[in-house]
Amino acid sequence: MEITELTVHELQDKIKNKELTISEIMDSYCKRIKENEPEVQAFITTYLDEAKEKAKNIEEKINSGKIDGNYVGIPIGIKDNICVKGTKTTCASKMLENFIAPYSASVIEKLDKENIISLGKLNMDEFAMGSSTETSYFKKTKNPWDLNRVPGGSSGGSAAAVASNMVPWALGSDTGGSIRQPASLCGVVGLKPTYGLVSRYGLVAFASSLDQIGPITKDVRDASMLLTLIAGKDERDTTSVDSGNKDYAKALKNDVKGMKIGIPKEFFGKGINEEVKQKLLETIEIYKELGAEIEEFSLDIANYALAAYYIIACAEASSNLGRFDGIRYGYRTPEYSNLKEIYKKSRSEGFGAEVKRRIILGTYVLSSGYYDAYYKKAQKVRTLVSNEFNKAFEKYDVILTPTSPVTAFKLGEKSENPMEMYLSDICTVSINIAGIPAISIPCGLDKKGLPIGVQIIGNKFQEEKILNVAYTLEQKIGFREKYKPEFKK
């Protein structure tokens, strides 16, 4: 196996056994990026020379006994809406094309402490709004399984970079599915943590009550390790909570005997592609063989979650993006005659079509005549969604659904039709609305050879449970050993 095909825990073993050095690992990744990036287009910024330099310095310090630790020198990729001090954080927008972050996000500080080395910033939908990474101002990332198809979004750069072995793991963010859906479309693992488990300090806000940072990895063990590194209370994010410094890798028991898995029938009906559905049904059979108890149930409020999500997310976005006014941050129009014109022209020229659509929609649902009819009603639906999940978790340990209703679609296929694009999130948004955790792992391929993902949902702060349930399936299926992206042209 090539170095860049290894998971992080496999790299750690090889470093420990002195089979690989940190510089060797770093050189392999830099080479891989040079080879694959022209086709895949996953990065907005790379820091290859700096990364190599850091690796060398770190190696010297290790050899002289100055530093040690399990993660020293491990490479990573970061979604470009997470601030890394002194480097560009663009959110894939013209608005922030030249924005240099004056501080690092809390998650980045945590990685820095471990001497993990970032290889660069990864492409995404503009301000994380989208499901295909096509709304990026800079480039269109391609799906490594088929280069004519999208990697999903909005963390499409992160998922494609992991799938094409340009980074061993990456950070993404998930507001309505942006970690899980691209992970599903690219055949990798993506975890959205419980709201509050990971600090949002330094994550450029899209919809603050829904956003969470989380891992995108090659396997479940790596996801549990990266979660362990980034989780924890942070004084600078008052919505973050103390979850007691858990080691999530300890939860991986490879055993689901006696566990109760709920199957909400609404997630297997209209709009779900037949091949996706069939693969999910096979997956459910595997869990039965492994000794889990399976029961179908109804979660009918989920039918309203998508509508509520797009109202709440747009409302919050319209408020959060108010700060990009041409004065304080980012792009300023070159020609203007008064203050109002600075605002108007900077925002008109700096934001792309999808971002504008959301700002307009969000401003509309918050306006005084429509607040009760839309925003308030959506908040009520949000409570009902949350209540229904709570009720379900009285009966079930975890809930299982498809991650995405379809496998990777063609570039351009949905970009002219926002409604169709929004439907990509039909299986993921209710999880953000309820603030609960969910993981997507690959469970097979469709007839075109494209990955299909299964989503495992848990109750608040039950990451250990969903990680174990996912891990047990992963061990049984052996997806990574069987299938590799083909870079089909």
Q: Which residues bind ligand GLN (CB under 6 A)?
A: 128-131, 154, 174-178, 206, 313, 425
Q: Identify whether the C-beta of residue 206 lies closer than 8 Å to the C-beta of residue 354.
A: no
The side-by-side arrangement of strands in the sheet containing 398-402 is 43-46, 117-122, 75-79, 169-174, 212-217, 189-192, 438-445, 451-457, 398-402, 260-264, 293-297
Residue 185 Cβ vs ligand GLN, minimum distance, rounded to whole Å? 12
Which residue's CB comes closest to ligand GLN? 178
Residue 132 Cβ vs ligand GLN, minimum distance, rounded to whole Å? 9
Note if 340 is an active site residue: no
Residue 206 Cβ vs ligand GLN, minimum distance, rounded to whole Å? 6
Q: Which is nearer to ligand GLN, 104 or 154 (CB)?
A: 154
Q: Which is nearer to ligand GLN, 131 or 407 (CB)?
A: 131
Which of 54, 79, 94, 218 is catalytic? The answer is: 79
Which residues are within 8 A (CB) of 316 and not within 5 positions of it... i.e. 6 or more apart?
205, 206, 207, 208, 209, 210, 362
Which of 93, 106, 178, 184 is catalytic? The answer is: 178
Residue 130 Cβ vs ligand GLN, minimum distance, rounded to whole Å? 5
Residue whose token pair is 């072995």 = 165
Q: Which is nearer to ligand GLN, 7 or 93 (CB)?
A: 93
Q: Identify whether the C-beta of residue 391 lies closer than 8 Å to the C-beta of residue 340.
A: no
- Cα–Cα distance, 13 to 70 (Å, whole number): 9
Residue 76 Cβ vs ligand GLN, minimum distance, rounded to whole Å? 20
Note if 488 is an active site residue: no
- Cα–Cα distance, 358 to 323 (Å, whole number): 15
Q: Which is nearer to ligand GLN, 424 or 462 (CB)?
A: 424
Residue 440 Cβ vs ligand GLN, minimum distance, rounded to whole Å? 12
- Cα–Cα distance, 51 to 35 (Å, whole number): 17
- Cα–Cα distance, 67 to 73 (Å, whole number): 11
Which of 104, 132, 154, 424 is catalytic? The answer is: 154
- Cα–Cα distance, 48 to 245 (Å, whole number): 32
Note if 154 is an active site residue: yes
Q: Which is nearer to ligand GLN, 206 or 331 (CB)?
A: 206
Q: Which is nearer to ligand GLN, 175 or 184 (CB)?
A: 175
List residues with catalytic annotation. Answer: 79, 154, 178
